[in-house]
Structure 1
Amino acid sequence: MNTIQPDHNGTNLRIGIVQARFSNEIGSAMLKVCTGKLIQLGVHTDDITVATVPGALEVPLVLQNMAASRQYDALIAIGAVIRGETYHFELVANESGAGITRVGLDYNIPIANAILTTENDAQARARIEEKAADAAVVAVECANLTNLLLQDQFEDEV
């Protein structure tokens, strides 16, 4: 049995991040934690690209364009969708999540979805540190895994 161990070495990885500015206090705090963790994992600051968009519904489009550029090993979506008094919460949460997943599958690129969906601001603030740091770890680990699997696939074809 072959077991591939998790690889959290971010050296030489290129990571793209899209941050939704709606609930910007939370998104900005998440961005700071996430980029700090990426650097801690060995990703060079010059290899991190950050784009911001108005809200969570715009995140998939920018991720799609980043993925299409083939310049990144992994992508990260950051933001917060906080329940209000209308159905809009469900629409934004569901559609942004589905769009993010579709981009990853369509372009065969790992995307760490760190868009919080919470009932209130307090719940979102309580999840900033853990979710943002996890997104960095997921992006690095899945980028390394995908790169390894693609390399093995290429070597098998040669």
Structure 2
Amino acid sequence: MFGADKGSTGPLDGKNLHIGVVQARFNEGITNALWDACHKELLALGVQEKRIHHVTVPGALEVATALQALAERDEFDALIALGCIIRGETYHFELVANESGAAVTRVGLDYQLPIANAILTTENQEQAVARQTEKGADAAKVAVEMALLLKQIG
């Protein structure tokens, strides 16, 4: 069993990692909180500030395009997707949630690059607020653990 600071690769040490983060601005209060928690956790895991590349995009559907652009630079050990989709009264929620999730996964598979997907999909604002800090920090841990694992595999 792994503790909070350990993964399948052992202790999570991100000091030599280069991490890219794409943050959607839609539902900005939530996504800023996701970014704050993610950034704080990356630093706590030893990722150097100068090795964290943070960009913002309008919404969740644009996240994958920015992830792909970062992946094409071939300088990142892992990427992180941050966003928030809150259910509304129309089918748009399903469209954005499904398409953004599939696109993020596709970029990771196409580039063989770990992507921690922290695009929240919630029924309401309260659920998003309840998850924003934990999911932001979790995304950082996942990115570091998966980057270390892929380096180990090799």
TM-score, normalised to structure 1, is: 0.91
Counterpart of 1:133 in structure 2: which amino acid? A
The sequence identity of aligned pairs, in percent, is 59
Q: Which residue of 1 aligns with 2:67?
A: 63
Runs of 5+ in structure 1 lacking a partner? 151-158
Give a deviation string over 1:107-133, Cα, whole Å, max 9, x none.
000000000000000000000111111
Runs of 5+ in structure 2 lacking a partner? 1-7
Q: Separation in 2 of the partners of 1:6 and 1:20?
A: 31
For 1:6-155, list aligned pairs within 5 A. 6-150=10-154
Q: Separation in 2 of the partners of 1:12 and 1:103?
A: 23
Residues 9, 145 of structure 2: 8 Å contact kept? no
1:5 deviates by 3.5
Residues 83, 118 of structure 2: 8 Å contact kept? yes
Counterpart of 2:133 in structure 1: which amino acid? E
Q: Larger radius of gyration, structure 1 or 2?
A: 1
**More helix per residue: 1 or 2?**
1
**Aligned-CA RMSD value:** 0.8
Give a deviation string over 1:10-46, Cα, whole Å, max 9, x none.
0110000000000000000110110000000000000
Runs (4+) of structure 1 moved beyond 3 Å? Answer: 4-7
TM-score, normalised to structure 2, is: 0.93
1:7 deviates by 4.0
Give a deviation string over 1:76-120, Cα, whole Å, max 9, x none.
000100000000000000000000000000000000000000000
